[in-house]
Amino acid sequence: MKPILTSIIALGAMAFMAGTSLAEEAHVAPVTAYLKENVVPWLSDPAVISAIKAQNEKTSGLSDGDIDALDKKWRAEVEAADKPMISEVLGNDLSKFLQEKQAGSNGVISEVFVMDAKGLNVGQSDTTSDYWQGDEAKFQKSFGAGKDAIFVDDVEKDESTQALQSQASVTISDESGTPIGAVTVGINMDAL
């Protein structure tokens, strides 16, 4: 057998044993490169850092029950005509900043939202289905992994847009390098 073919078969076997395929992982490098070049530079913007710090002060004393109640309120508002909690978040300065970043991405960023140290939404470009992300991999594998962590999730078809999307999350740190929150960016794979 030729050496290149042997190497490809060996890589495929290792990926299979690890429970992944080479095709599944092919998106990670370009998504990571896009994040490092186009998203990470604005994560240290004062608009991002100050909004997270302000919310961390407000939410630091919340219990699990408080967080659950806020998340239930948000979820109920998603389907309701009156959306005071969602409107407050979507109307804040950080959300406006994120909406500008999304609009300037030439269709690559399909959504973007910033979370505080508890995994609660601080700002977002579009309404998320829930308020608390702290129980999800996007938060646990970014903020939960510490400074400079990047987590690129699987590629999935977005049912509303029919586009292939991967959610990628990055830990956000303050000026001292201390992790204070995280961002999740929906990457439209068809536009990348």
Q: What is residue 132's DSSP assignment? A: B
Please state, in angstroms and rounded to a whole number, the distance separating the CA atoms of residues 17 and 103: 41
CB 127 within 8 A of CB 95: no
Q: What is the pLDDT of residues 106-137, one digit of tens each?
A: 999 999 999 999 999 999 999 999 999 999 99
Range of the domain at 133: 22-188
User: What's the confidence (pLDDT) of residue 183?
Assistant: 98
Provide mean pLDDT across the span 1-20. Answer: 43
In this prediction the pTM is 0.86
Q: What are phi and psi of 56, to 5 degrees?
A: -60, -35
Provide mean pLDDT across the span 58-73. Answer: 97
User: What's the confidence (pLDDT) of residue 172?
Assistant: 98
CB 123 within 8 A of CB 148: no
Per the structure, the count of domains in the chain is 1
In a domain, 59, yes or no: yes
CA angle 58, 94, 175 (to 5 degrees): 70
In a domain, 64, yes or no: yes
User: What's the confidence (pLDDT) of residue 25?
Assistant: 79
Please state, in angstroms and rounded to a whole number, the distance separating the CA atoms of residues 171 and 111: 17
Please enumerate in sequence order all residues whose Cβ is within 8 A of that of 111, keeping only pairs 6 or more positions apart, or say none: 102, 124, 125, 126, 128, 184, 185, 186
In a domain, 161, yes or no: yes
In a domain, 5, yes or no: no
User: What's the confidence (pLDDT) of residue 22?
Assistant: 47
Amino acid in the structure at residue 188: N
In a domain, 16, yes or no: no
Q: What is the pLDDT of residues 164-188, one digit of tens each?
A: 899 999 999 999 999 999 999 999 9
Provide mean pLDDT across the span 160-167. Answer: 82
Please state, in angstroms and rounded to a whole number, the distance separating the CA atoms of residues 132 and 54: 17
In a domain, 17, yes or no: no
As a whole number, the mean pLDDT across the chain is: 88
In a domain, 123, yes or no: yes
In a domain, 156, yes or no: yes
Cite the DSSP H helix spans in 18-136.
Answer: 22-25, 28-34, 46-59, 64-79, 84-90, 93-103
9, containing H or E segment = helix 3-17
CATH assignment of the domain containing 31: 3.30.450.20
CA dist list (Å): 36 to 29, 30, 33, 150, 151: 11, 10, 5, 9, 12
3-state secondary structure at position 116: coil
